[in-house]
Copies of this chain bind each other. A is one copy, B any other.
């Protein structure tokens, strides 16, 4: 007999199976409802476990998302770490750290999956948009110049995404074969200007 919370051996599911059930429920929830509307409480209910258990396993909604999408880093925490140093070298640290991560074999695959989802269907695009807005762009905007910080963060993000698409997905030779140091040297000043420099021809 297998009652609620018990598997076919008659024992309660172990931590690994429970963790898997939570991640399955989280993936389904994020894929259908986006990022903002999903709560740890809701995922716990759908996985048939106590919310405290989800908190104990994953800590936060961002970490639950990161585990569900198998990302090798937590983007929000990653940005926090970059922002802990002074804002002046932020563009360079951001580009260098991301290239080092993405150049690691296998490390780009989960990001490709997120981009593929967003390009393939509206619900996954909403999920990625809400995740980036809630956990990544807001943090970057907080460190950007006070003149249009959200625009600054978004346009910096667009250069990062474009770099990822061109180097790792379309693999145009001029970028796919380029030395990371050359890419950092070229792109870092762009990111830095977008975040803290003059934005337009009016010098504003």
A interface residues with partner B (beta carbon < 8 Å): 112, 115-116, 118-120, 125, 128-129, 132-133, 137, 141, 148, 150-155, 157-163, 165-167, 169-175, 178, 182-183, 185-190, 193-194, 199-202
Contact = CB atoms under 8 A, between A and B. Distances in A.
Contacts of A183: 155
Q: Main SS of chain A's interface residues?
A: helix
B171 A162 contact: no
9 contacts: A120-B120, A125-B171, A133-B173, A150-B173, A157-B172, A161-B170, A162-B165, A186-B194, A190-B193
A154 B133 contact: no
Nearest to A204: B185
Contacts of A152: 174
A129 B186 contact: no
Contact of A185 (B153, B170, B173, B199): B199
A134 to B, nearest CB: 11
B182 A200 contact: yes
Given A120-B116, A132-B170, A170-B129, A151 B137 contact: no
Contact of A165 (B151, B158, B182): B158
